[in-house]
Chain A
């Protein structure tokens, strides 16, 4: 009865973003919007990598993970091919609280669009009107657009360089929507911490309830290490068992970001090494 988590398909969405579909029937059956998994590229030396679940197919028994190669570990994960097995544990964290709020605005930045997608779907299924704001640095990094367009009532696209949609940060259309009358009933923001922080600052003056999904450092993901702790409303919370979603107005973003950077120097070195290795492997692949 040993469960083998095998990669069934893999697609490169952009230079740094990969989409893998992994056989994990139990996770596919149990998971709900907002939850995540921990994966490892091997059992000996891999880091435990928390990744949000972008989609799941209970019939096929698969979960879809979308990740960006930001460090050594995600690079090694990106080298795995269909047929390879990985370690996968989940679903972890609490599901997003879904109800009929009325009008929901969902803001996704970069890779954050992946975990946002199931939330958009769930909010829609619960009878909400859903506006999505899709943001990325540049058009090439804009992911999940077909999926978002298929489910959202409206999808506002922004890029930092204007290569797709409006040339703006996500907070610009967000502020406009907040000023509407009546204003949105809830905002959900998933993306880089700095984006989530500014989304929180944008909605704060309007008093609109805003949720953010935090991607802190963690090891086990089950409530044992405490590495993921973050201060929310002055109290220490564990992202893995109390989150990953929190009231964005209550999160101590400065502290969260400095904790995320704890291993920055070590990671930078490892990342550069991996980037090289990966480029070499890709060259070899092209040649053969």
Chain B
């Protein structure tokens, strides 16, 4: 038993030491099933959770419409209606004015069947600021100067700071 314990300890020490000495680690892959489920307009996960709800912009902002058009030049145009619906919870009927940062990425090809993105974005806008006062619907529109990049994902975040 004593010999077994010693050997066991040595084995564990060697194993853990060996793991710590590895030069590289495999990076996490985006789960394909999650990618497939992701919509074309997504909100960034809230940065704070409280006992009474989250500080998520999804609590206050809703999408009133979403359209993809192609103009005469062939440039894809995404039009999204963003509405600040105000507070909807019993503890917050009012809700704040919301300041958003929005980035839209355009892709030449849709998300692949295995769930991975088709490659880098053909065009990506900067993070554009949108101010939504309570009750306002903002007609957000973004055009991509790359013909044929008709697949997109719009990421909406709290104001970047």
Q: Are A and B bound to each other?
A: no
Interface on B for A, CB 8 Å cutoff? none
Interface on A for B, CB 8 Å cutoff? none
